[in-house]
Each structure stands twice: as C-alpha cells, then as structure tokens.
Chain A
Amino acid sequence: MKAFLPFCGALVLALSSVAVANNDDGLSEQIRQLKNEALDLNRDLTLLERELIYASPQTNIFVSVDVGTPIRLVDINLTIDGDHVGYHFYTDQEFESLTKGGIQRLYTGNLASGRHVLEATITGYDPLGKDYQKTTTYTFTKGAGRKMVEMQVVDDLNKQQHKFEFREWNQQ
C-alpha cells in the first residue's frame, strides 16, 4: 500500500493540471455511446423488475440520521412481525453519506395489509467511542396503497446516544 501512495499524489497533480481532449480513433465516442446505452438499459430493466415484483403497492422502510451527528452508527438490524428482514453494517463512507443528508432504503417488500410491528436494533459508538445498543418498536398499518416509513436515527443529546423517530406516509 505504501508503494501506492506516491501515485495518489501524482494523480491529483496530473488531474489538477488541464486535461487535453483525446484523439483515439473513435474509441471515446464508442465508450460514450456504450455508457448511454447501458444507462438506458439499466433504467428500463429496473422499471420492468419493479413492475414484475411489486405489482401490488409495496412497503418501504428508510433510514436517515442527523446531519453532522457526532455519534457513529455501526449497524442496524430490522425485523417486521418478528421476521428478520434486513441488516446493514455501515462502512465509514456509507455513514458519512447518511450524515450528509443521504437516505438509505433498508427494506422494500410486499407486506400483507393490516397491522405490522417493526423492530429495529442499532449498534453505535458514542462521541467517546463507547459502544452501545438500542432497540425500538414501531407499529404501522399497511393499507391499500404504498407505505413509506422513515426511521430517523437522531441524537439524544442528553445521553450522547441515538434515539429513534418515525415518519410514515401512505400513497394511494
């Protein structure tokens, strides 16, 4: 890895200097065309897949955190009605994405209509690096339309740990 470092610097030096347009016998154009086609294909297949799998309105659970939080979210475990439906371990980059306003979709699925109990367990590090675990439950009712639940992992400034807040939307 040490051998790799000078190249990083050298690269930034190279990139900070002015780029020159390539003359490469149409390869650049071929690449651009292929990228466009790939983006279109991926978009169309994503839409088809959604249409196939979620013919009925689905339920989505989202996770977000406080912008700029000093408390580190390590992982999250999600169950719905006692069934394990999601687990995510956050890399530094992913956690940073959340702290900058990103929202992660942790679960998408076809839930039966009616009442459901969501249970989330998070592991986190407080600002002093001490680890802790917290669990919360939340009950929601799935109706005819799509259901969106946002689980906000927010700072509990008194305890220097996380707490949960939920927001819920129904789409008809």
Chain B
Amino acid sequence: MIPRLFRPCLLAVCITAGASSHAAKVEFFDDIDMGPIPLGVEEHRYLAFGEVMFDFYRHANFDAINKLLVNQHQELFNEDTDYAELLLGDLYVTYGLPGNAEVIFNRLLKKDILSRTRAQTWLHKAALHYREGNLEEAAMILDGDNVKGLEAADEARRRLMLANILMAEQDFIGAMDYLNTVPVDMDEGRYATYNMGVAMIRAGHADDGLQLLKSLLKAGGNSDQALALRDRAALAAGLTEIRNGNLESARSDLRQVRSDGPFSEDALLALGLANYRAGDIKRALPLWLEAVRRNSNHPSVQEALMLAPRAYEELGGMPQALAGYQYAASQYRESLKDIQRAINRIQESGWAENLLPEDVNETGFLPANTDDMAAGGELSYLYKLFSSNAFSQRFEHYRQIHQIKSMVEHWQRSLPAMQESYKIQQASLNKYLPHVRQSVSEQIRRQEQLTLATDRLANNIPNFVDMSAPEDVANPEQAIMWNKVDGLARKFGTIPGSSHQNALRLRRVRGLLLWDIAHQSVEQREKQIQDAATLQDENRVLAERIAAVKQQIRDATLRTRDDLGTRLASQSQRIERIRVETIKTLEALEKSMQNDALELLKSNQKKLADQLAEAHLSIARIQDTSVSGDKNQRTSS
C-alpha cells in the first residue's frame, strides 16, 4: 500500500504489452492543498491520463486509444507528454497498427527523453519487430546498450524475447543463458521453458530438452494454466521417453498427468503404449478401455478405440476383440456424423459471430463460446486450429472489427438524435436568449448593489463593543425592550404617572436592561461579524453565478452562430461508408476462418474414414478367422 501522502506526487504508469508489463514513473505535480484551485495543465493531464489508465488496465484498449486521441486533438497531450505517446504506441501495437506505433517510437527516440523512457521505447520497438517477424532487427535492439536500465518486469520481457529469437535460430546455449534468469514461477518463464524443451528435443538435444521439461514438473503454480502446462510437459516428456525406448521413465512421467486434466486422454493412450511396448499388454488394456469411455471425438480416444480390441486379440479374447472393433466402427460412424454436422454449422453464415465473447473487452484471442461447440464435438476437431497463431490473430482481428461495427452502428443510431438535439437547442436558444440577455443586465446591477451594501455593512461593524449605542449590540428581544424603556425615559415627566418612585423604578429597569445587553454584547457582536461574513460569502457565490450566466450567454450566442449542424450532417456518409467496409472485412475474415476450419475438418473426416475402414477390415478378419476355425473343427470332427 502506498501512503496517501506520496500518491499525488507520483503516478506509476505501468504500460504493458499483452501479459507482460513494464512501468514508467511519471511525475505529475506536487501534493495539493484541499479546496478548489485553478485547473492547471499538469492537473488536467493527471486526470485525463488516469482515465486512460483505467481503460487500459481493464483492457478496454479501443476506449483508451480514443481518449488519448481526443486529448491529443484538444492539445492536452502532445509530443512533450512522452508517457502518453509511449502508451499510445503500445496500444497501437496491441491493436494491430504497427505502422502507427513505429512512427511514435521513432519520434520519441529522436527526442531528448529520460533514459528509462528511452530504454522502454527501444524495447517497444524491438517487440514490434519481433511481432512482425523481423527477428534480426529485434535481436540487435534487444542485445544492445539502448535497452540498459530497464525495470525488472521489462528486463524479464527482454530476456524472454531474446531467448525465443535464439531458440528460433537453434542457438540453444545462447537461449539458455537468457532463459535461466527468467524465473519459472512466472507464467512467461514456464511457457518459455516448455517451448525451449520441445525445441531442443526437436533439434536432437533430447537429454537437455527432457531436463527442461522435467524441471517444469516440479515448478510451482496452482493456476489452471500452470497445471495444464505441467500436464503438457509431463506428456511431452513421456512421449519423448517412449520414442527413446526409456519405458520406465516414460511411465513415471505420464503418471504425473492429471486423470481429469485436459491432456488425460493423450496420457492414457501414451501410458498404454508404454506398457504395450514393454510387453505388458494386460496393463495396457485397462488404460485404453478407460480412454474408450471418454469423448469419442478426441483424437487419442479414436486411436484407443482400435488399440483396445487389438490388445484383446493379442490376449486371445476374440469375442471381446470383435465387440471392440464393432464398437469402434459405431463410434467412428457417429464421429463422422458429428464432423458433417460441424461442417454444416461452419458453412452457415454467422458462424464466426457466434464465437465472440459477450463482453467486448474480454481479453484473449480465442473463441469464447466453446461450451456449445464442446457439446457438439466440434471443439475437439477445431482444437488445433484455435490454438494456432495464424487463426488466433485472425480471430482477434475479427473481434476488433466486430467491435468497430458495433461502434459504427451506435453512431449511426445516435447521429439523428444528435442532429435533432442540435435543432432543439438552436430553436430554444433563439427563443430565450434575447430575454435572458435583457434581464441579465438588471440582475448584474442588483448583484453589484448588493455587493456594495454587504461590504459597507461588514466594514461598519466595529470589532469592539460600544455601550453608548446599546441597541447595536442587543439581540432582537432586548432591542424592542430597549426602545420601549429608552422612549419612556425620554418622555418621562410629560406622561401621566411621572412620579419620583416611578422614575426610580424606570432607572432600575433601564439599568438592568443595560446590564443584560452588556452581558451578551460580545457574543452578539461576534454573531453580527459572522453574519456579515456569511452575507459576503453568499454574495460571492451570487457573483460567480452571474459570471456563469454571462459565460453561458456567450456560449449560447456562439452556439446559435456555429456550424455544428453542418459538421454533424457531414458525418452521415462517412459512417455509412465505414459500416459497409466493416461488413465486407468481416465477411472476408469469416470466409478465411471458415476455409481453415473446413480444411481441418475434412482432413479429420478422411482420417476417420480410414479408421472406420480399418475397423471393418478387422471385424471381417476376426469373423473369417472364427468361421475358418469352426470349419476346421467340423472337418476334424
């Protein structure tokens, strides 16, 4: 927790790209006293940038970019506000506008900026090259002096990028140097370790690769993603050990895959294979039978459907084998029907739209509405597609363009209302402005008179008590009484009953009243001073109100003469043009995603047809064997 006292002095601006983050500290202004103060440019920037950060951290990137652009247009943010520039560049990268980002980064790098901001800008530029596949340029920046002095999170990101680039170049020793410093308790570190392990195995460095994969089995992390990655690492290690003939190690690794995890079907199949290869068919069979009970649209389950009856066959259980092959055939037929249904569904228009998340700001590139797909079996087949980089990027574009379509449709609906509102404003202002202009002069005069009177009153109140005028320090009841008593005293002698005794009584009453007034006179004077101050305060508010009305009259006068109506009308065609372009782009993206999905499903269809044919052949083979066995028995008997 940061103490409140220090917070206004420093706003830590964390600019992240994707999951990784790096921070730039931006000093805005010193601590401020309470009470209204004039809004300076730095305070205004503090509020405006705070709003942008709110959108940024809740992943409303489109809104964040819009706020930055609006503030830029209003010249609140300009080329001097490096933090806003850097964030806009970062948001452009995330939003798939690398060209715009590069212009900003280059502009920043030409300027005399803080060394840390400079290093961050270089890192952004490197990330941009990396994202676009310009690995050589990315590596040159990441390995140079320009990126020195980065904060810890940025430094980890730099090392990860370098490790990935070196991995792609098969320089595993170099990649390891960078990877070693990224802790595996971070998601990024874990994924990089996994990638490195798999890349090394593929490049023929099986021992080193296995070591990395096995290090993940002991790594911490209890999130769903961490556990899924651990399963995946165990599966990859187990499959590599099977390939290398280390069946005991393979079994040990595969047993670490959770039985209810997302890779459990693959692990069951692989563990069965390890047992089978070790000659232990009896221990392979239950594993495959367990796999067979799972979702038959899963590729590993489809493999197990043939392996289980084959194991029965080898163990001499021909009736069970026959039943197994028949069951496999029926499951393949069902899966083929599922694939056909999935193909039909994908070919329908609106398929891609159904994949969109309900929350427009939901992060992630993957289709969100996967429950229906999982129920229909479609998900098992499209898994590979959805996890591919190319598809996820296209889907992200589709999501963003769809968001643009919603935004454009919103403006299309709002524009007529805005135009109508403008017309009503104009009519209303034209009707009332002359009268308001006329009467405001009178109000100004009254308020000025009031100010003068209030000030005069306040100035005339002495800050001491003078009992020569008791009515000035008397409260209302005392003042009434004083007027009566004083009046009687003045007229005494001319009124009936002006006896000596009454004169003494009147003097006593007058004396008592004077004593009473004097007794509370200090308090009364203070109250008078306070009331006068309140009056002055009220008058100040009135003066502010008069100023506000004058300002509103000026604004309203400008409104009656401005061209906002014309400018609003000119947006109509622009909105329609962008709407049409949006629809065309969405159609093109959907078509492209549909084609990829259909291609994958058709290849699955072909594979399933082959498996079905194999199942039928196996059924025929067992039936033939059985018939020839019967014949032989009958012949011999």
Contacts and interface: CB of A to CB of B under 8 A. Distances in A.
Interface of A: 1-22, 24, 27, 30-32, 34-49, 51-53, 55-57, 60, 62, 64, 66-70, 91, 93-94, 96-98, 100-105, 113-115, 140-148, 150, 152, 154-155, 157, 165-172
A84 B320 CA distance: 73
19 contacts: A9-B229, A11-B386, A17-B195, A17-B389, A24-B592, A30-B588, A34-B404, A38-B407, A44-B571, A48-B568, A51-B564, A52-B418, A56-B552, A60-B47, A94-B58, A103-B50, A144-B544, A167-B34, A168-B37
Interface residues of B, number: 116
Nearest to B589: A27
Contacts of A15: 18, 365, 389, 392
A168 B35 contact: yes
A95 to B, nearest CB: 9
B51 interface: yes
A3 B379 contact: yes
A11 B12 contact: no
B57 A102 contact: yes
A93 B34 contact: no
A143 B540 CA distance: 10
B176 interface: no
A171 B37 CA distance: 9
Contacts of A1: 371
B76 to A, nearest CB: 11
B545 A114 contact: yes
Contacts, number: 297
B53 A101 contact: yes
Nearest to A157: B1
B595 to A, nearest CB: 11
A26 B626 CA distance: 62
B282 interface: no
A39 B194 CA distance: 38
Nearest to A105: B51
B312 interface: no
B585 interface: yes
B225 A101 contact: no
Interface string B265-293: 00000000000000000000000000000
B404 A38 contact: yes
B270 to A, nearest CB: 16
A3 B370 contact: yes
Interface in B321-362: none
B195 A7 contact: no
Contact of A6 (B37, B262, B547): B262
A148 B56 CA distance: 22
Q: Is chain A's binding surface mostly helix, strand, loop or mixed?
A: mixed
B499 interface: no
Contacts of A105: 51
Contacts of B13: 101
Nearest to A169: B39
Contacts of B37: 168-170
A49 to B, nearest CB: 6
A169 B545 CA distance: 17
B366 interface: yes
A144 B47 contact: no
Contact of A43 (B69, B100, B370): B69
A12 B191 contact: yes
A32 B96 contact: yes
Contacts of A13: 191, 194-195, 387
Nearest to B160: A16
A100 B53 contact: yes
Most chain B CB inside 10 Å of its own CB: which residue of A30, A102, A114: A102
A19 B390 CA distance: 8
Contact of B36 (A19, A44, A141, A157): A141
Contacts of B192: 16
Given A2-B262, A6-B228, A101-B53, A45 B571 contact: yes
Q: Which of A9, A32, A69, A168 has the most CB of B within 10 A?
A: A9
B431 interface: no
B242 interface: no
A113 B544 contact: yes
A47 B337 CA distance: 54
B38 interface: yes
B187 A12 contact: yes
Contact of B54 (A20, A35, A52, A97): A97
Contact of B73 (A24, A43, A62, A103): A43
Contact of A18 (B59, B168, B228): B168
Contacts of A146: 39
B389 A19 contact: yes
B147 to A, nearest CB: 19
B132 A38 contact: no
A23 to B, nearest CB: 11
Nearest to A4: B370
B581 interface: yes
Given A4-B370, A5-B224, A15-B392, 4 more contacts: A22-B390, A41-B408, A57-B551, A93-B59
